[in-house]
Amino acid sequence: MTQPLDRRYDAQKPDAIDVAALETFPYEYPGKDITVSIDTDEFTAVCPWSGLPDFGTIRVEYIPARALIELRSFKYYLLSYRSVGIYQEHAVNRILEDLVRCAKPKWMKVTADFKIRGGVHTVASRVYRGKR
């Protein structure tokens, strides 16, 4: 009889997330609230416990104050998660905090809708309510 293997694939620490990739550009209509929605179904990170990949859709909705998130930079930022070991719920918190720090929106919501793993579907979201 074969013994089960204790496998683990190494993952990078969260400090490998490239926050410096994020850029903004001026919102030319301050005081005129619009809702900006960004989503991608190409988000990948890894489970910090097993090293197995997590795949999901990231949705960001926000009301800009003075800056808009530059989409190319957002894509590079998300790509930096590819080998990072981070729990799904922690990824939502981290993404929201990084984007708020960068863009300083009036309001923002980040939702992560992860693919089913082990028969379990996870959706996590968090809202930031800034000064209006």
Which listed residue (6, 33, 41, 54) is catalytic?
54
In a domain, 88, yes or no: yes
Secondary structure, 3-state, 60-100: EEEECCCEEECHHHHHHHHHCCCCEECCHHHHHHHHHHHHH
Which listed residue (18, 47, 98, 113) is catalytic?
47
pTM of the complete model: 0.91
In a domain, 127, yes or no: no
Q: Whole-angstrom Cα distance, residue 66 to residue 89?
A: 28
Please report the pLDDT score of residue 14 as a whole number: 95
In a domain, 131, yes or no: no
In 29-52, which positions are buried (b, 16+ CB within 10 angstroms) versus exposed (e)? Answer: eeeeeeeeeeeeeebebbbeeeee
Structural domain for 88, as ranges: 15-118
> How far is the CA of 54 from the CAs of 42, 66, 115, 123, in angstroms?
10, 34, 7, 12
> How far is the CA of 68 from the CAs of 22, 28, 62, 100, 123, in angstroms?
11, 9, 9, 11, 25
Told to judge if 47 belongs to the known catalytic residues of this protein, a careful annotator would answer yes
Structure tokens at 54: 């997590």
Mean pLDDT of 6-15: 80
In a domain, 102, yes or no: yes
Q: Mind listing the pLDDT tens digit for each residue in 74-123? A: 999 999 999 999 999 999 999 999 999 999 999 999 999 999 988 999 99
The CATH number covering residue 108 comes to 3.30.1130.10
Structure tokens at 6: 């204790």
Please report the pLDDT score of residue 74 as a whole number: 98
Told to judge if 102 belongs to the known catalytic residues of this protein, a careful annotator would answer no
What total number of domains does the chain contain? 1
In a domain, 33, yes or no: yes
In a domain, 6, yes or no: no
In a domain, 126, yes or no: no
